[in-house]
A and B are shown apart, each in its own frame.
Chain A
Amino acid sequence: MNATKLKHDSAVKHITGQSVYVNDMEVSPLQLTGRVVYSTVAHGMIRSADISEALRTPGVAAILSAKDIPGINQMGPVVHDEPCLAASEVSFIGQAVLLIAADSEEIATEAEKLIRIEYEELPAILTLQEAMTRDELIAPARYIINGDAESALATSPHLLSGCLETGAQEHWYLETQSALAVPGEENEMLIYASSQNPSETQAIVAEVLGVRRNEVDVEVRRMGGAFGGKETQGNHVAAWAALLAHHTRRPVKMHLFRDDDQKITGKRHRFFSTYSIGFDEQGKILAYKVNLNSDAGSSTDLSRAILERAMFHAENAYYIPNIHITGKAFKTNLPSNTAFRGFGGPQGMAVIENAIDRVARYLKLDAAEVRKLNFYGQETCNETPYGKLVENNRLPVIFDRLWHTSSYRERRAGIEAFNRTSPYVKHGMALTPVKFGISFTTAFLNQAGALVNIYRDGTVQVNHGGTEMGQGLYVKIQGVAAAELGISAENIRVLPANTSRVPNTSATAASSGSDLNGMAVKNAMEVLKARLKKVALEEFEKLGHTGIGACDLEFAGNRVYSKMIPDASIPFVKLVETAYINQVSLSSTGFYKTPGIHFDRESGKGNPFYYFAYGMAVSEVSVDVLTGEYKLIRADILHDVGDSLNEEIDIGQIEGGFIQGVGWCTTEEIKWDNKGRLLTHSPDTYKIPTINDIPETFNVKLLSDFPNEGTIRKSKAVGEPPLMLAFSVWLAIKDAISAVGNHETEPDFSLPATAEVVLMSIEEVRSK
C-alpha cells in the first residue's frame, strides 16, 4: 500500500476499545491510586496542615508534603521557579500541597475530606491588567524592530490605534493528566507517562527523587490528546506519582478528575495587546507598532518562548517595512500558563488580523484585497522583521486558488444583497491567511534521535523520540520507514517513545514531530541500507552480476535490486538473513539536527525557522442580531503541507486544528472569580465545539504541486498552523456585526467572540 495512504496505526484499536492509555493500566494488584491535594487560596502562606485523621483512614498508604521530597522540590522545566509541592507559600488555586496514595480513588477522596489545611491569605494578582499596572514582569521585555516605526507612523496618511484582548483556552484533551510510576530495584523508577516530552519527564522525576537520570525510564505509548498541555505539565503528575511510588515502594497511578485538571493546569496565555498601524489610501501598511502582553501565570514554564513566538508572528503574512514589536510576560496568581497549539503564534497574529480588518473597513475596501496587497513579496518585500527572508512564498498561489474555489467575489455580493433585506439575521465573511514558522525557536532543541532494529525474519522495529498524541506521527514514521526500506508497512512496528531506547529527545511540539524524527529515522535507515547494500553487492557478484555499484541499488517491493539488471533481485528478508550470517549489524541509531537555525535575542535578528507553512481560509457565518448567536455556514480551506506524508492524516490535522481554533475564537471562554477561583472548571460551563458547530459546508484541500525541498520526503509540518485559519470565522462574525451598522462603524471586538460579546458589540454599533 502507498505509504501516504496508510490508516492511523492505532485506528483498529481505537474503534474496538483496545488501545491502552495510562489510566487503563494495572501492573500489579498492589497498585495504588494517587491524589493531589491543592491550594484553595490564590496567594498565601500555609499555616498548618493536619493530616492525622486522614492518615488513619483504612486503605491510605501515604500522605506526603514538601518535606518528604528526597531530591529537589522543583518541576519548572526551563526556569526552576515552580515547586513540586508548595512548602510554605502557595501562589495559585490548584497548586499541589499534599499527595495521597490509597488503595482506591474512593478512599483517597474520603481521606482528602479529612485533611485540614489553614492558610494565611496574602494579596493576589488575578488580572493581567493589574499585573501590567504593577509591572510584574516574569522576564525582561523583549523587542524585535525593523525600520523606524515611530517616524513612519507619524508620516503615514492614515493611522489607527487600538487594543485587543485574546482569551485563555483550556486544552480539553479527552484524557486528563495521567501517570503510572512503578518502582524497581534500588533507585529504579519506571514511568508510564502521558507526556509530550518523555526526556524532560525523566529529568524532573530524577531531580525530584534525587536519583540520576539513568535510573529513571519513561515510556509514552500514546496520549488521549495533548495539544501542548502535556509538553511540560504532563511532568507534574509523573513527578507526584513517582514521589508516592518512591515512598510506598508500590506502583502508583494518578489520573486527574476533569475538574481538578481544569483547575490545576495552565492554559493558553491570555494576551492584552495594543497597537498603532499606519497605512496609505490603498491600504498598504507602512508602519506597525505592537505591544504584546501575556499572562504567564504564577511561574515561567514556557512563557518566554511562547511570547517570543507571538512576536515572530506579529506581522503574520504581511510585509511591513517599519515595525516595532514589544513583548512582555507578566506574573499573576493563576496556574502557570503553558504551550497550546500555535504556542503564542495565534495571539500575535490575532492583533494584526484584527488591525488589517479595521484598515479595510476604514478605507471601505474589501479586507481580502487589502490582505493580498500586503502579502510578502516573492523577490522583494520579503524580509521578516527579524531578518529572515521569506522564501518559496506560497501566499499568492494559495490566495488565487482559494479566491476562485470559494467563489469569494460572487458570495460577497450575495451577502451584501442578503443583508440589505434581512434586519434580524446578518451574514458575514472573511478570508484570512496563515504564515507559520517551523522549528523550535530555541535552536538546540531542533535535534532528534532514532534506533532502528531489523530482525532475521525481515521485520523492523523503529524507535524515535516523538510521542503519539493522535496526530498520526507514528503512522507517518511507519510510512517513511516503509518507503525508505522499500518494504511493506505491515512489517514495520513503531514502538512507544522510551527514554532508554532513544535518549535526550526534544518535546514532540512546535509541529516538528515528523520533520525531526522522520529525518532521524531516515538517517538510521541510510546507515542500515549502506551495510545491506554491501552484502547485496557480494551476493549479486556470487550470482555473476558484476560491475554493479552501491548507488545502483534500490530498495523497493520488499526486494533489493539493481537498476542496471532489473530482473536480478534479492528478497529483503533473504538479504537480512544473509547479512546476519555474515556478521553484519542489523541495528543502527540515527540522528538529525535542523541546519542553520540561530537567533540572537539581544538584536532580535536571525534565522529562527527552517521554513514557513502556509494556509488560507474563507469562512461565512450568520449572526442572530437579537441574541448574538451565530452559525458557521461554510468554510473553504487551502493548506500547504508540501508533499504530504499522509494525506488523510494531514486533512485530519487541518480540520481538527481549525475547529479547535474556532472554539478558541467563539465559545471557549474562561472566567475566574475575584478570589482567583476558576468558574469554568468543567464541560458544564466550558464549551468546546460539538459536531453541530462545524461548518455546514466544509471544504478542505491540500495545496498540490508544491514540494518542500530539504525536509523528510519534501513534506511540511501541519500540527499547529491550521488552528489560526479560524481567524476567518472570528472576523466573519465581526463582518456580520459590522453589517448591522452598514459597515460605517468599527465594532468593538475581542476574542473569544461569545454570543454575549457579539450582542454587546451589536448594541454598541446600533447606538452609534
Chain B
Amino acid sequence: METTRKDIQFLLNDRLISIDFQEHPGLKPTTTVLNYLRALPGFKGVKEGCAEGDCGACTVVTAEIAEGRLVYKTIDSCLVFLPMLHGKQLLTVEHLADGNSLHPVQQAMLEHNGSQCGYCTPGVVMSLFGLYKNSHNPSRPVINDALTGNLCRCTGYRPIADAAADCCSGNGKDQFTSAEQMTLEVLGKIQSDRRQIEITTDRQLYLKPMTLSDALSARLRVPEAVIISGSTDVALRQTKKKELLTALLDLSSIEELCTIIADEHQYWIGAGVTIEQLRKFSHDHLPALAQMLSVFGSLQIRNLATIGGNVGSASPIGDVLPLLFACRASLRLQSASVERTIAISDFITGYRTTCLKNDELITGIVLPKPADDVFIRSYKVSKRKDLDISTVSAGFMLKLNQGRVADLVLAFGGMAATTACASETEAFLRGKPWDEPTVAKAMEILENEFRPLSDARAGATYRTLVSKNLLMKFYVESTAQEV
C-alpha cells in the first residue's frame, strides 16, 4: 500500500464519489464545491451570489462523524475546496425532497411564502435544513443566527423567519435520519484510512495530512505551501483575485488540533477548533468571547473558520485578536523538532505578518482563565451588526484594587496596521481611581494614541471617536456590574 493517497472520497447524498484529480483534468484540487456542483448534471440549484461567503446563495450542508454520530453543518460552498469534503457527506437543495414529498423545511417555505425571485432560496433552504437538524424549537435569536449568512433582497426575511419557527418544531427526523447508519458506515470506512492525501497536478500541490506529525513533516518539506483549514480567507485569493494557489497545506482533518481542554488555570484551544465550536464552548466559560463570536461572520463561516486561522492571518481587523490580547493569551507553535510558546502580542509583527517560522504551525492557544475579580468585555462596531467586518473592535480587561486600576488592557482592532494596545492610556489609568472624571481624561489621551485610516467602512474621525467612547462604555458597564 502507498504511504499517501492521491484521491479523495465523499458522499454526494448516498452516492460515493471518488476523485483522482489526475484523471479529471476538468477538476483542480482548488475547484470549489460550488463550481464542482454546478458543473454536474442536475445540480444548478446551488448559486453563486458573491464568491466570498458574504451572501449564502451557495449554502450547502455537510454531515460528518463526531463522537459516533452525524453532525450537520451549513457551509458556503464557494469557499470550500473539493478535498475538504473528504470523508464527509455533501447535501444540496436537490437532495431534500423525498421523492415527490417536500422536506419539512421546504413545505414551511412554501406555506409561508418564503421565496420571491428564488435566487437566494436554495441557500436559505439549506440553512433552514441545517437548523432543522440541529435545533428543536429554536428561539428567534437562534433562528436569526442560522440565517444571518443568507442575504435575501426580496422578502424582508419575515416569512423566512416564520418558516423556520414553523418547521423546526418537530423532532428533526427525515429520510437522512433513516439513512444515518449507512452513511456512518461509509464515512467511517473512508476515515479509517489515516494516510496523508497528496494531490499533485501540473500546476498545483495539495497536501492534506491526517495527523499532526504528518502535517509538521509536510510543513518542513513544502514551506511555501499556504496553510488552510476552513479556507474562508485564503479561498478569496482564488475566487476574487483570480490567483492560482500552487501549493496548499490543509489542516482541517487533524483531530489533535480540534480539541478544547480546560484545566484549573487555563484553556487549551486547538488551532483547528472552529469559531462555532469555540463560540458554543465560550458561552458558558468566557461570555465576553462568546459575545464577540456571535457577531463573527455568519454560521456558514463560523462552521469553517478556525481560531488558528483567525489568529494566523494577523488581520488588523480580526475579530478575536483584541480579546485574546486582553486575556493575555499565548500561542503554541510547533515544528518537527521544537515546540515553543509565545505571547499573542509578540506573535504579530506587522500588517498581516507574524513571527511564525516556515517550518512551524500554530497548534493551539493558551487562554488563562480570568480571575473572578477581573472584568472583561469585547466590542465590535461595524456598519451592519452581523456578517460585517469591524470598523473598530476592542477587547478590554480591568482589575481593580480598592477602586483603583490594578491591571488593565485596552486592545483595539481597526485602529492601526495590527491589533494594538492603547499603552499610553493604559499607563495613565494604572493606579488611578476608576471613576468617570478619570475615564474622561483617559479618553482625551486615547484620542491621540492612534492614527486610524479612512476607508470604505468609515472615516478616521469616526474610528477615533468610537475608540474613546468604547472606553466610556466599558466604564459604564463595569460600574453597572459592581453593584
Contacts and interface: CB of A to CB of B under 8 A. Distances in A.
Q: Real complex partners, A and B? A: yes
Interface of A: 7-8, 10-21, 23-24, 109, 113, 171-175, 222-227, 257-259, 424, 469-472, 626-629, 631, 648-649, 651-652, 655-660, 667, 669, 671, 679-680, 682-685, 687-694, 698, 700, 754-756, 759-760, 763
B4 interface: no
A759 B463 CA distance: 10
B472 A626 contact: yes
A717 to B, nearest CB: 16
Given A174-B55, A626-B473, A14 B121 contact: yes
B49 A258 contact: yes
Interface stretch (B157-165, B265-273, B352-360): B157-165
Given A15-B125, A174-B47, A691-B147, A680 B153 contact: no
Nearest to B116: A470
B368 interface: no
Interface in B239-268: 240, 242
A626 B468 CA distance: 9
A690 B158 contact: no
B117 A225 contact: yes
A651 B158 CA distance: 10
Contacts of B457: 685
Contact of A16 (B96, B147, B158, B458): B96
Contacts of B384: 667, 687, 689-690, 693
Interface string B449-483: 00000011111011001100110110010000000
A650 to B, nearest CB: 11
Nearest to B38: A24
9 contacts: A8-B116, A15-B93, A17-B93, A21-B119, A174-B49, A257-B51, A700-B158, A756-B458, A763-B465
Given A174-B49, A648-B113, A756-B459, A656 B118 contact: no
A659 B113 contact: no
Nearest to B469: A626
A174 B119 contact: yes
B306 interface: no
B151 A683 contact: yes
B153 A688 contact: yes
A23, A24, A225, A660 pick with most chain B CB within 10 angstroms: A225
Sorted nearest first, the 4 A-B pairs with minimum C-beta distance are: A17-B45, A470-B117, A224-B119, A14-B118
Contacts of A225: 116-117, 119, 153-154
Nearest to B45: A17
B385 interface: yes
A365 B49 CA distance: 47
Contacts of A655: 155-156, 158-159
B410 interface: no
B442 to A, nearest CB: 15
A627 B455 contact: no
Contacts of A172: 151, 153
A16 B94 CA distance: 6
A315 B450 CA distance: 46
Contact of A679 (B54, B93, B110, B455): B455
Nearest to A756: B462
A424 B465 contact: no
B115 interface: yes
A687 B48 CA distance: 18
Given A669-B383, A690-B148, A763-B465, A15 B113 contact: no
Contacts of B102: 12, 15-16
A11 B113 contact: yes
A10 to B, nearest CB: 6
B386 A175 contact: no
A625 B154 CA distance: 31
B151 A688 contact: yes
Contacts of B462: 628, 756, 759-760
A15, A631, A687, A694 pick with most chain B CB within 10 angstroms: A15
B106 interface: yes
A11 B115 contact: yes
B473 A660 contact: no
Given A8-B116, A16-B102, A17-B44, A174 B57 contact: yes
A683 B52 contact: yes
Nearest to A651: B113
B154 A15 contact: no
Contacts of B82: none
A12 B114 CA distance: 11
A682 B110 contact: no
B395 interface: no
B289 interface: no
Contacts of B465: 759-760, 763
Contacts of A756: 383, 391, 458-459, 462
A682 B155 contact: no
Nearest to B111: A7
Contact of B240 (A20, A224, A259): A259
B408 interface: no
Given A658-B156, A687-B388, A18 B45 contact: yes
B379 to A, nearest CB: 8
B331 interface: no
A679 B118 contact: no
Given A24-B44, A652-B156, 13 more contacts: A12-B110, A15-B110, A15-B125, A16-B97, A16-B102, A222-B118, A224-B119, A225-B116, A626-B469, A652-B159, A656-B156, A690-B384, A754-B383
Nearest to A106: B242
B473 A424 contact: yes
A694 B157 contact: yes
Contacts of B57: 174
A172 B153 CA distance: 7
Interface in B176-214: none
Contact of A755 (B44, B54, B381, B389): B381
A700 B157 CA distance: 13
Contact of B121 (A15, A471, A652, A684): A15
A1 to B, nearest CB: 14
Given A174-B47, A257-B51, A683-B52, A17 B117 contact: no
Contacts of B94: 16-17
Contacts of B388: 687
A174 B55 CA distance: 8
Nearest to A659: B156
Nearest to A671: B456
B386 A692 contact: yes
A13 B109 CA distance: 12
B387 interface: yes
A656 B161 contact: no
Nearest to A110: B242
B364 interface: no
B334 interface: no
B381 A629 contact: yes
A669 B454 CA distance: 14
A755 B388 CA distance: 13
B157 A659 contact: yes
Contacts of A659: 156-157
A13 B115 CA distance: 10
B135 interface: no
A15 B114 contact: yes
A629 B391 CA distance: 12
B50 A258 contact: yes
A426 to B, nearest CB: 14
A649 to B, nearest CB: 7
A684 B49 CA distance: 12
Given A224-B119, A690-B151, A756-B458, A683 B54 contact: yes
A692 B382 CA distance: 14
